[in-house]
Amino acid sequence: MRTSELQHEPILALEDLGVEFGVSADGFPVARIGDTHLAMVPARDGASFLASAWRLNRPLSELTRADFYGHDGRLEDEAAFCARVFETAQHKRELSALRRIQTRMTASTPWGPSQLATVYAEGIVSHMTAGHGGFHLSAERNLRVSPLLRKCSPWYEEDAEWAIVALTFPELFTSYERKCADETFRNSWPSAWEEIHGRELGSGQSWMKDRQAFERRHAGDWVVVSAIYSSHHADMTEVVATRGGMRDQRADERRFLVPSAEYGTRGPFGFVIDDERHAVYDGPSDFIGWRRRRTGT
């Protein structure tokens, strides 16, 4: 679906969600949802990514790349952009209906003094501090958390543990937040997810489970833990590897030379040395620490 086609859809559907689509002065699709602006910004590799801006008062046709910031994920095509726009609009609509209350309260959190608090419901308060934040649950609310996920402490930090709160009290979160919470849950605690849902996660459905499988599969292999382009061998990358990718000062380390193009294809959990193709390297090193280790200076 192209933006030009979407503009011919029923006006009522767009107005109901407060969405306005257009094309920027630089030629990429943009959208306005109240004070929020989203853009499908072209990337250098030919793909596109979602960028955002806030409180721009000019017409969409006058906006440029310089107006947008952030990188909120890659977009495959304009249909994906439109889907993200409508998802954001629906999220904002649901958010306004939840009537969360922002306030200031004196509270000492594990991350420092609370600077801003958001009351989701009685006994469920989110705190922001200078450096971090998270949820505080009352004793009664904390008892409602699944024993598989419940903490002894009533504090749930904002990076991953917030998902526990969202999944325990879904009526207090938007559809988008619940989707993000489930993704965080799967990636962080796959075993608990499987036990609660009664089914097994497949490959690609949980970052943590995939990582654990990678570590088991390559526990006896040499896995790269550090890499640097070689100035001594053209188009090669000098790497340091340990058994199973262990990052321990006591772990046995070996150096290898790997073609840079091949090393660039490594997966998210590391590069596995192929003993038949990647020979152990003992020549001049670009690792400062390794040179000092050899020379003692």
Closest by CA position to 206, among listed 195, 196, 193, 216:
193
The token pair at 129 is 């501090």
Q: Which residues contact 177 (CB under 8 A, 6 or more apart)?
A: 91, 166
HSE of 119, CA atoms in CB hemisphere, 13 A: 9
Given its phi and psi angles, is residue 185 left (phi above 0), alpha (psi -120 to 50 degrees) or beta?
A: alpha
Angle between helices 175-188 and 190-197 (to 10 degrees): 120
| pLDDT at residue 1, rounded to an integer | 35
| pLDDT at residue 7, rounded to an integer | 39
CA pair distance 79, 260, nearest whole angstrom: 35
List the beta bridge partners of residue 119.
101, 125
Closest by CA position to 166, among listed 177, 152, 151:
177
What's this model's pTM, rounded to 2 decimal places?
0.81
Number of H helices, E strands in the chain: 10, 15
- Biggest alpha carbon distance in the chain? 74
CA pair distance 108, 152, nearest whole angstrom: 17
CA pair distance 269, 207, nearest whole angstrom: 10
The token pair at 38 is 């989203």
Other CB atoms within 10 A of residue 163 CB: 25
Closest by CA position to 30, among listed 1, 68, 71, 57:
68
| pLDDT at residue 67, rounded to an integer | 97
CB of 201 closer than 8 Å to CB of 189: no
Q: Could you give the 3-state DSSP secondary structure of residue 162? A: helix
Class of residue 224 by CB neighbours under 10 A (exposed 0-12, middle 13-18, buried 19+):
buried
CA pair distance 251, 219, nearest whole angstrom: 13
Element (H, E) at 236: strand 236-243
Per-residue pLDDT of the chain (297 residues), as tens digits, is 333 333 334 333 455 668 999 999 999 999 999 999 999 999 887 889 999 999 999 999 999 999 999 888 999 999 999 999 999 999 999 999 999 999 999 999 999 999 999 999 999 999 999 999 999 999 999 999 999 999 999 999 999 999 999 999 999 999 999 999 999 999 999 999 999 999 999 999 999 999 999 999 999 999 999 999 999 999 999 999 999 999 988 889 999 999 999 999 999 999 999 999 998 999 999 898 775 565 444
CA pair distance 291, 297, nearest whole angstrom: 8
Closest by CA position to 243, among listed 235, 233, 253, 234:
253
Residue labelled with tokens 């991953």: 160
